[in-house]
Structure 1
Amino acid sequence: MAATRTGEPRPAPAPNQAMRELRGNLSPREFATLVRRAAREIGEHVSCDARYVGRVEAGEIRCPNYAYQRVFRHMWPEKSLADLGFAPRKTVRRELPHAEPDTGIGTVEPNTGDPGTGAAAHPAPDPAARPLTQPSTDPPTDPPTGPATGPAVPAGLPDLSQQSDEENDDVLRRTFLNGAPAAMATALGAGRSPQPADPPLLAAPQPPPPPERRRVGAAEVRGVEQAVRDIRLLDDVHGADTLFELAGQSLRSAYVLLNDGEYNTETERRLQCGAGELAISVGWLAHDSNRLMDARSFYSEALATARMAQDAGLEAHVFSNIAFLARDAGQAREALRAAQAGQAAAAGLGSDRLRSLLALREASGWARLGDRGACQQALHRAYALFDRGPRDADPEWMSFFGEAELAGQEAQCWSALGEWERASTRAEQAVGLQHPHFVRNRALYIAELAHDRLGRGDLAGAAVQGSEAVALLGQVRSARIRGMLAHTADRLRGHSAVAEVRDFLAGYDDAAAA
């Protein structure tokens, strides 16, 4: 039975002006997205949404729970809780003597000034409210519009370079939400029970009813598989930044099918493989967007899925991406171990091209450890395997791996070893060999070539290549490539007497400010 309160009515809470000012021009939904993203950076899980932001700003939440406190301190390390407009916990407890004790568990919202967590503070809780004990599930920017009855494959790649940001978002939303992923999302949505309202104060919590199981068949599996293809195609052309959030929604829909659906053994196998590949794709988008911790989390999820499914091909793919991520994160030993584990997984798959790529990953690890001899041996093995040619067993996701990628990866090895002439030569070959469709990779190789020419002291050559890469930034949205160009620009700023350097810096600064 819920506790009751007597006495004078509680005065209306004072608005939290500090948090309102920190939100600035962002909408409550956009601000909530930033809070969730900050939580993921430190390993927290909070279900922040526009409703929560509104309650904070209205002063209804006098003191956030410990999880939110950690997130807010991560976002604004120079500010105390008082600076953020919150009251001390002990003060709020004195005002609410019958409040539920705060256990300190990060994902439970204590009833200390937050009227949405107990019957005493909120006599009629919203039955549709999502309790904060649930994992964060970032809502889509807008609900899907249009039919969602089956996997609809886009007729062609949308040309994002010729459209405004608002139009780009609309194209991507249609691609990911109105087609195959929408079919996935709706396959089980109608049968899922609504989240239960928060229990009344002092009442024993009741477990939520199990979701109704819905049949999952070939159409839903094709939807997952098509979502993977769509993400790869768009990433090849445009880079990761615009795709990451929307692709994450497709991944969540796939795991709804896998965890809440009912299917036969063959469907389960394909669904596990599809969900794992989708997790890898989203992890790569996080990596290319410089969200390295997010990428690690998605890859861990994919690796667990691969091992539960006993799928060696999926496992080899995950280890290839983990090795790449570890290299960029400065973890050379981990990159080396992941590459070697990937080669072990791929040994019996019959794909020489896959083994070649994994040998390149190993070479990169040795290069960053400064072991030139081991790096050369791995490079020799990579080229020997590549020269055996393509096979029917080559994975579909390896469409990017050709002579250009081989040369580009070798260039990065020589760059890590400080051998700038060899690095520049191979990077230049990579640029010349790259197929025009792979715009993101072309921009990457040009940015690498600018870096390598700067390494050998060719200021003008580095600036010319940098300008070429900047010209592609309107088409490519990749935080990783922008970071490479920013590093080159920083190193060239002391040499603006060189005409090519001045031109590059002017173009780069304009692009960075846009």
Structure 2
Amino acid sequence: MARERNVKLEALLKEHGLKHHELADEVNRLAEDEFGERVNCTDRHVRRWISGEVQWPWARYLLPLQHIFGRSPEAMGFVPRKSSRIPPPPRPAPVKEQRPVRRREFVFVAAGLAAALGIDAIPAAGRLGTSDVERIRAIVPALYTHDHALGGGALHEVAAQALRRVHHALNHCTYGERTERALYAAAGDLAASAGWFAYDAGQQEDATSLYNEALQAGMLAGDGMLQARVWSNLAMQARLLDRDQEALRIGRAAVETRQAKGDPWLMALLHCRQAVGHARTGDRTRAERSLIRAERAYDRVQGQPAAWLSFLTPAELTGLAGAAHQALGQHARAQQLTASALAMLEPRFERNRVYYTAQRAQALLDDGDIEEAAAEAGRAVGIAGRVQSERIRGKLGDLRLQMRRHMDVPAAADFLEQTRQMGA
């Protein structure tokens, strides 16, 4: 078989700003510190993995690599042989010091959460009733409570597992017409949530598939609010993929739905996201108009929002306004707004705190305040240990790459050294 270069692993090194010897050093450190094993990895090993000379590393290397990049061997571009065995989760070495929560601990969190949510209690046969639907619907609010702290990387597989159980129930149980509509609405809610977690975890193909499933379920259930929600998330995904005009068109379709117009919570969020979209295309007038509309909509909110909208607080609105000003090139205003958002942010929104700390660092950097930007970026990295979000990893990675242009500034050099030692 012809040798094929491992472009996936090569891209991961570039994304994380790692040279061959730096990855080898990190593999050695993790193998010894986390797993209690000396492995003597060198840059030669890394070159052989990238060239395709070695298509499936030994397990003693795969474990640390999975730990570093948070991906399966196949997702890192490795090709298993028939005899290849994916290494099991490692047994932790004796604790030497307090360390941030890392990838393997998310596996245990997810497993415990699946049990706590009672996913196995979803019926696999028999007749379903209202209590069964309520049990399924209760899964989503519980998942979002953890999402605010942990990020989608820790949850998308749990949500997908729950969704598979619901699919089985839909196809193997009996139920009346009213229960059927409620079941499709619950399945759509779960699919949209799983799509969001996959999006946050960087699994964009899975996210698209789940969003499409949620749209279909929303149509079968006659749930217009669910459909508007999915359109909003699809717009965010298009923006992440640098398809800004597509994102604006999708967002406009969501804004114009009857359900969005009747729900000020959703309307406030949609207008905020449209503001960022207009700003990214350089349309200052429409961006500012959308921010005003978002504020007016939020002034009309009452009661509690749906679980998936529970992150929409004054802090979030302010942070999104900061993102819009940042995209418009108004960096000083962006960092001021983002600082205000951070001051208002509740402790439970740990993922958003990392996100907006990185956003403020970016605004400071773009405004020319290198020392304060490096300090803020360091704070973002310092509090990111519990959060499993590829979006945030991407923002921190971008900061690190840009900070390299300012290595003559001691604070920037210190930040780069800090993140190198942490494997960030």
Q: Which runs of 5 or more residues in structure 1 are unaligned?
A: 1-18, 39-47, 59-140, 143-159, 189-212
Does residue 1:273 correspond to 2:185, yes or no? yes
Question: Any conservation in 1 of the 2:182–2:221 contact (CA below 8 Å)?
Answer: no
Does residue 1:468 correspond to 2:379, yes or no? yes
Which residue does 2:416 correspond to in 1? 505
Alignment partner of 1:485 out of 396, 399, 421: 396
Amino acid paired to 2:221: A
Q: Which runs of 5 or more residues in structure 2 are unaligned?
A: 1-51, 90-97
1:510 and 1:258 map into 2 onto residues whose CA distance is: 50
Amino acid paired to 1:333: Q
Which residue does 2:57 correspond to in 1? 24
Amino acid paired to 2:112: R
> How much has 1:261 moved relative to structure 2?
2.3
Superposed counterparts of 1:257-406, under 5 Å: 257-347=169-259, 350-391=262-303, 394-406=305-317
> How much has 1:35 moved relative to structure 2?
4.6
Three-state SS of the structure 2 residue aligned to 1:22 is coil
TM-score, with structure 2 as normaliser: 0.76
Question: Any conservation in 2 of the 1:460–1:500 contact (CA below 8 Å)?
Answer: yes
Does residue 1:455 correspond to 2:366, yes or no? yes
> How much has 1:161 moved relative to structure 2?
8.2
Does residue 1:170 correspond to 2:170, yes or no? no
Three-state SS of the structure 2 residue aligned to 1:388 is coil
2:366 and 2:100 map into 1 onto residues whose CA distance is: 35
Alignment partner of 1:446 out of 337, 349, 357: 357
Amino acid paired to 1:338: I
> How much has 1:232 moved relative to structure 2?
0.8
Flag the structure with larger Rg. 1
Question: Any conservation in 2 of the 1:466–1:485 contact (CA below 8 Å)?
Answer: yes
Which residue does 1:233 correspond to in 2? 145
Amino acid paired to 2:394: G
Which residue does 1:408 correspond to in 2? 319
Superposed counterparts of 1:79-90, under 5 Å: none
Alignment partner of 2:163 out of 251, 267, 273: 251
Which residue does 2:121 correspond to in 1? 183
> How much has 1:166 moved relative to structure 2?
4.4
Three-state SS of the structure 1 residue aligned to 2:257 is helix
Superposed counterparts of 1:420-435, under 5 Å: 420-435=331-346
Distance 1:165 1:323, change over 3 A: closer
> How much has 1:178 moved relative to structure 2?
5.5
> How much has 1:164 moved relative to structure 2?
6.4
Question: Any conservation in 2 of the 1:346–1:354 contact (CA below 8 Å)?
Answer: no
Question: Any conservation in 2 of the 1:180–1:226 contact (CA below 8 Å)?
Answer: no
| Higher RCO (CA < 8 A, seq sep 6+) | 2
**Residue-pair matches, total:** 356
> How much has 1:457 moved relative to structure 2?
1.0
Distance 1:25 1:274, change over 3 A: farther
> How much has 1:369 moved relative to structure 2?
1.8
Amino acid paired to 1:318: V
Three-state SS of the structure 1 residue aligned to 2:256 is helix
Amino acid paired to 1:287: Y
> How much has 1:318 moved relative to structure 2?
0.8
2:161 and 2:339 map into 1 onto residues whose CA distance is: 38
Distance 1:419 1:349, change over 3 A: closer
Which residue does 1:496 correspond to in 2? 407
2:268 and 2:335 map into 1 onto residues whose CA distance is: 22
Question: Any conservation in 2 of the 1:351–1:391 contact (CA below 8 Å)?
Answer: no
Which residue does 1:4 correspond to in 2? none
Question: Any conservation in 2 of the 1:240–1:286 contact (CA below 8 Å)?
Answer: yes
Question: Any conservation in 2 of the 1:316–1:346 contact (CA below 8 Å)?
Answer: no
> How much has 1:235 moved relative to structure 2?
1.0
Q: CA RMSD in A?
A: 3.1
Share of identical aligned residues, percent? 32
Which string of whole-angstrom CA distances, capped at 9 and with x for unpartnered residues, describes residues 395-429 of structure 1? 23211101111011111111112121221111111
Question: Any conservation in 2 of the 1:352–1:391 contact (CA below 8 Å)?
Answer: no
TM-score, with structure 1 as normaliser: 0.63
> How much has 1:272 moved relative to structure 2?
1.3
Question: Any conservation in 2 of the 1:292–1:329 contact (CA below 8 Å)?
Answer: no
Question: Any conservation in 2 of the 1:283–1:298 contact (CA below 8 Å)?
Answer: yes
2:137 and 2:53 map into 1 onto residues whose CA distance is: 42
> How much has 1:502 moved relative to structure 2?
2.5
Alignment partner of 2:130 out of 204, 218, 229: 218
2:325 and 2:102 map into 1 onto residues whose CA distance is: 39
Question: Any conservation in 2 of the 1:20–1:57 contact (CA below 8 Å)?
Answer: no
Amino acid paired to 1:328: L
> How much has 1:448 moved relative to structure 2?
0.5
Amino acid paired to 1:22: Q
Three-state SS of the structure 2 residue aligned to 1:262 is coil
> How much has 1:21 moved relative to structure 2?
5.3
> How much has 1:239 moved relative to structure 2?
1.1
Question: Any conservation in 2 of the 1:470–1:511 contact (CA below 8 Å)?
Answer: no
